[in-house]
Copies of this chain bind each other. A is one copy, B any other.
């Protein structure tokens, strides 16, 4: 049953729908979160059909996930728009939402929404992903929305370009403009840091001797950072990571320190690449913003400063704010409008 206390204030149902989870948000007239739900129904893990029944059409499992997460909201608010971002718009998602080319703007994204009709229900709108064709191609899906949310964050500086870091499984570093004619996303890079760390820990000899630390071992993390950029830098990543094992064999690195040491090597390499692409020294270094899981942002902030960058601004998680911005730009939602009359008939 929905918390119906402020149901009538709802202006948007916003969905952050990725590979491993579905998060649903009910947003009010200023884009504020009135209610939220989290379900494990990522696009690779949709709820199964009821026993003995087969899905009539490909979207049925997605519809089932949506109903489980927020079917009560949708029933009670039949005219409230629904906007989603993330892997739900991939080729393996509910409907492929295509890619827009970089550079792109809030308006481009808002004009590029893919509409999925849902029988008698309100349609689902999906934000497109981004494709960067110059050089080695790059793609994102979901992060574009997060960056737009960061750009709407009033605590983030507004002059000139920003470098927005979104650390995670696939870290993104996005050059974006908050204002002016270049407002929006200019270009970006991807680093597979998080996924490589998980693969090394879970599926190579390096994980065999690791023990989970009781708390993050910042000294071991800093030691790994130093390897990536210090006097042994020439050896490169494929050699550096082996020292996780050899320092363990020689007794210099306890088992509980090895995961943070390896994390430091990998994040150190990511930030060393970033420093080559955007040198932190010089007349006007680009301001940095980090947006992501708190402990990861903390680690990245340490790594950035170890590589000579100024302390980054840490932005709040921004996907919901980005969805709200896109909904407004697309005319799906209007900020600050008066409340609609509270529906007379509520589902039980």
Residue positions of A touching B, CB distance < 8 A: 131, 133, 135-139, 170, 189-193, 195-196, 198-200, 202-206, 227, 231-232, 234-243, 245-247, 249-250, 252, 266, 269-270, 272-273, 276-277
Our pick among B137, B190, B236 for the contact of A273 (Cβ within 8 Å) is B236
Contact in complex: B193, A238 (CB < 8 Å): yes
**Which residues of the partner chain B approach A242 to less than 8 Å between Cβ atoms?**
136, 138, 170, 190-192
What is the total number of copies of this protein in its complex? 2
**Which residues of the partner chain B approach A235 to less than 8 Å between Cβ atoms?**
136, 189, 273, 277
Contact in complex: A249, B203 (CB < 8 Å): no
Contact in complex: B270, A238 (CB < 8 Å): yes
Given A136-B247, A249-B137, A269-B237, are A199 and B204 neighbors across the interface (CB < 8 Å)?
yes
Please list 28 pairs of residues, one from A and one from B, whose beta carbons are closer than 8 Å in the complex, sorted by A's number: A131-B250, A135-B232, A136-B227, A136-B235, A136-B239, A136-B243, A136-B246, A136-B247, A137-B243, A137-B247, A137-B249, A137-B250, A139-B245, A190-B239, A190-B242, A191-B239, A192-B238, A195-B205, A196-B238, A196-B241, A199-B199, A199-B200, A235-B273, A236-B237, A236-B269, A237-B237, A237-B238, A238-B269
Our pick among B203, B249, B273 for the contact of A238 (Cβ within 8 Å) is B273
Additional pairs, 4, CB under 8 Å, beyond known A138-B246, A139-B245, A238-B266:
A139-B249, A192-B204, A192-B239, A195-B204
Task: Name the prevailing secondary structure of the A interface residues.
Answer: helix
A143 to chain B, nearest CB (A): 13
Our pick among B133, B237, B241 for the contact of A250 (Cβ within 8 Å) is B133
Our pick among B189, B193, B240 for the contact of A136 (Cβ within 8 Å) is B240
Q: How far apart sit A295 and B266, CA to CA, in the bound complex (Å)? A: 30
Q: How far apart sit A189 and B232, CA to CA, in the bound complex (Å)? A: 11
A138 to chain B, nearest CB (A): 6
Contact in complex: B136, A234 (CB < 8 Å): no
Our pick among B137, B170, B240, B276 for the contact of A252 (Cβ within 8 Å) is B137
**Which residues of the partner chain B approach A272 to less than 8 Å between Cβ atoms?**
236
Q: How far apart sit A231 and B134, CA to CA, in the bound complex (Å)? A: 12
Contact in complex: A273, B234 (CB < 8 Å): yes
**Which residues of the partner chain B approach A237 to less than 8 Å between Cβ atoms?**
236-238, 269
